[in-house]
Amino acid sequence: MSRFVTLKDVAEKAGTTVGTVSYVLNNKKGRYISDELRQRVLLAASELNYIKCNGASSLKGMDRKLIGILIPQFENQFFTRICLAAEEVFVQHGYDLIICDTFDEPEREKAIIHRLLSQRVDGIIITPTVDGAENTRIARDVGMNMVVVDRPLEGLEGYHWVTTNNYGCGFEGGRYLRGCGHRKIIYIGWKSGIADLESRETGLRDASAPDAEIYSYYAEFSPESGFAETEKALDDHPDATAVFYGFNIQAKGGVNVFRKRGLRIGEDISVMLIGSPEWAYTGSNDFSRLDMEELELGRKAASLLLDLIKKGSAEPNRVIQDCVLIEGSSVRKI
Amino acid sequence: MSRFVTLKDVAEKAGTTVGTVSYVLNNKKGRYISDELRQRVLLAASELNYIKCNGASSLKGMDRKLIGILIPQFENQFFTRICLAAEEVFVQHGYDLIICDTFDEPEREKAIIHRLLSQRVDGIIITPTVDGAENTRIARDVGMNMVVVDRPLEGLEGYHWVTTNNYGCGFEGGRYLRGCGHRKIIYIGWKSGIADLESRETGLRDASAPDAEIYSYYAEFSPESGFAETEKALDDHPDATAVFYGFNIQAKGGVNVFRKRGLRIGEDISVMLIGSPEWAYTGSNDFSRLDMEELELGRKAASLLLDLIKKGSAEPNRVIQDCVLIEGSSVRKI
DNA sequence: TTACGATATGCAAACGTTTGCATATATCTC
DNA sequence: GAGATATATGCAAACGTTTGCATATCGTAA
């Protein structure tokens, strides 16, 4: 297909040489160009629709102006919001983004990282899978700039990491429920194998009253599984007064159980969740929740990566962001 | 930063030349390589962590294995679902995606297209802004493979277009409301300047009873504006029995008006919308709506683009997909 | 023994840029 | 008017691949 116009084409049309055209188009200082020639080149370039080939110039050591982002779920707004915020920062600096969905599958993650490297991106932002530490090794070996967001690289030290205070999310939620008088609480969580994520449950337990009972159920990282575990939990513990969801992707399915059973949220049953997906506060829904301010996460990660790219490298940095309690009407005071 | 390993490095380590290494690594047929040498090369490459530079090989006419996608709103699930489905198709064929958000700003769209071209992507999928016809001209001029999704390139013919039956969406919604006995209907729409999109309203009007009244209000393409126009409409027409949202991004804000006013959806007021964002069927929400099957849209667009890339070009193709009525509990029979 | 196909490898030219070096006038300065 | 700047441009070598062409060593059929 498409025969792209090259510097040579422009040079011929303008009656000069490729070198000169390159100087003009990049308007480098430190090189004299007569106004007359400059105009001729500019005109020729625009008439021919010249578009520089980024691949070729990157061969000469120039930035590719490309960033790779890996997220585990495209349908999860938590992650798309991170991308959204990151993109805003990057485009302002002239970078394009390659956004990839690992579907939380380690092999796919590995393949994607390899392809990003072969695209010679300038940097990578990643929310890793369980095997992230191993899968990112090639990237770290070649010295690729990388910022990890949200989940950690299990078992690794000394990388750049922007994350939420996961323990704090659980703790704040627990404190709130305790303040509202709840003592029998169902926790729906995810056995991710990532300690930091699982500390959400620890936080919840630590903050709860000494006489409180926490009934934990573990679902897969999907709405359907969240639905199923919620059903099971409600069946097992009809006396529970509150349900706390550690992961909003599970909550998304789980909260449909209440409608199905005719339970009025905030009256018959109290519900709270970690994360702020739009469904949680739209229409008739008004859930109490712990907002993780994903946009801010994304911005921080992007800025950090830009710094790395500019400076070459830096001290391993760890940014931990606290969550924000948002009080809706889904938790009843008892 | 990163010094990437080159073919030359591998060749030296394996005691051979770049050419041979290239043959081995791409395992081209029609070239004899002794098993002994092949193993030596493979070993060297893996020990050195060799990663081919896609930019360099694309200089020699190879595919970049890169696709660009432009969508107008990253926060709008309608579009992220298209991307999600498209990505699945593309990764299966070894392509990476550059997903970009135009924020519905024509200048940004233009800039992004230019950058994608300079990345020498193999193809582009785009949901254009109002100025899409003009902004995509460079791409069309250089013969870039392109598939348009959802919105058209206003005033242009002969391009590849995968879209929804927008008129049909309005019509089906109108017919359903009519069947439920509604005669005074508020329509919240978007004056996009794109005729095809605005035909949703025409469809609604055409399907409504002859004695029906449609009160049209036009909001910006945002939740906030949807909220404001809904307020205004309800104030102006307290006798309206139903609200029909032509665009779910406006509905997202609009439906919060009912909660604010204590109106029970499906009882005090009937609500219907075009599109199937997850908030519409999560938790206490259960909206009747016209599903546009975005995943299918995305898949179709991706397959079409792959065909174009493979075959070089093809007859301009126009795929129109019908919407599917999903009956929730938000519309009351009167 | 010659010659020829099969096997196995090296060489170097391209691809589209960027940039240091060389060249060639024109303009000063003393 | 000689040397030194300043101004203006061309040339060619890289960057990391791919690939057609050349070369070299076999075995083997005539």
pLDDT digits (tens, 9 = 90+) for B9-63: 999 999 999 999 999 999 888 899 999 999 999 999 999 999 999 989 999 877 7
The minimal CB distance from A96 to the residues B4, B100, B252 is found for B100
Look at B51 and A117 and tell me if their CB atoms are within 8 Å: yes
Strands (E) in B78-159, as ranges, are 96-101, 123-126, 146-149
**Tokens (6 digits) for A328:** 């809706």
The pLDDT assigned to B209 comes to 92
pLDDT in tens, B67-83: 999 999 888 889 999 99
The pLDDT assigned to B64 comes to 82
Q: Which residue has its C-alpha nearest to nucleotide D17's C1'?
A: B57
The pLDDT assigned to A193 comes to 87
Residue of B58, B96, B114, B259 to mutate, testing the A interface (most A Cβ within 10 Å of its Cβ) = B96
Distance B23 CA to D18 C1' (A): 9
Backbone angles phi and psi of B224, in degrees to 5: -60, -45
The pLDDT assigned to B130 comes to 92
Nearest nt to the B51 alpha carbon by C1': D16
Q: How far apart are CA B1 and CA B322, in angstroms?
A: 51
How remote is the C-alpha of A268 from its chain's centroid? 35
The pLDDT assigned to B253 comes to 96
Domains assigned to chain B = 7-52 (1.10.260), 66-164+294-322 (3.40.50.2300), 166-291 (3.40.50.2300)
Nearest-Cα distance to chain A for B114, in Å, is: 8
The pLDDT assigned to B314 comes to 77
- If residue B162 lies in a helix (H) or strand (E), which one and from where to where? strand B160-164
Mean pLDDT of B182-198: 94
- If residue A67 lies in a helix (H) or strand (E), which one and from where to where? strand A66-71
Distance B32 CA to C1 C1' (A): 28
Nearest in space to A183 (alpha carbons), one of A226, A215, A140: A215
Q: How far apart are CA B283 and CA B264, in angstroms?
A: 15
Q: What is the interface size between A and B, counted as CB pairs within 8 Å?
A: 192
pLDDT per residue, tens digit, chain A (334 aa), is 457 999 999 999 999 999 999 999 998 888 999 999 999 999 999 999 999 999 899 998 777 888 999 999 888 889 999 999 999 999 899 888 888 889 899 998 998 899 899 889 999 999 999 999 999 999 998 889 999 999 999 989 999 999 999 999 999 999 999 999 999 999 999 998 889 999 999 999 999 999 999 999 999 999 999 999 999 999 999 999 999 999 999 999 999 999 999 999 999 999 999 999 999 999 999 999 999 999 999 999 999 999 999 887 778 889 999 999 999 999 999 8
The pLDDT assigned to B101 comes to 87
Pair A251, A273: CB distance under 8 Å: yes
Nearest nt to the B50 alpha carbon by C1': D16
Q: Is the CB of A36 under 7 A from strand D?
A: yes
User: What pTM was computed for the model?
Assistant: 0.87
The pLDDT assigned to B97 comes to 86
The pLDDT assigned to B27 comes to 86
Mean pLDDT of B189-208: 94
Nearest in space to A284 (alpha carbons), one of B261, B223, B297, B292: B261
Nearest in space to A173 (alpha carbons), one of A151, A127, A132, A205: A205
Q: Is the CB of A42 under 7 A from strand D?
A: no
The amino acid at A7: L
Mean pLDDT of B222-247: 97
Nearest-Cα distance to chain A for B306, in Å, is: 13
How remote is the C-alpha of A21 from its chain's centroid? 41
The pLDDT assigned to B149 comes to 97
Mean pLDDT of B229-234: 98
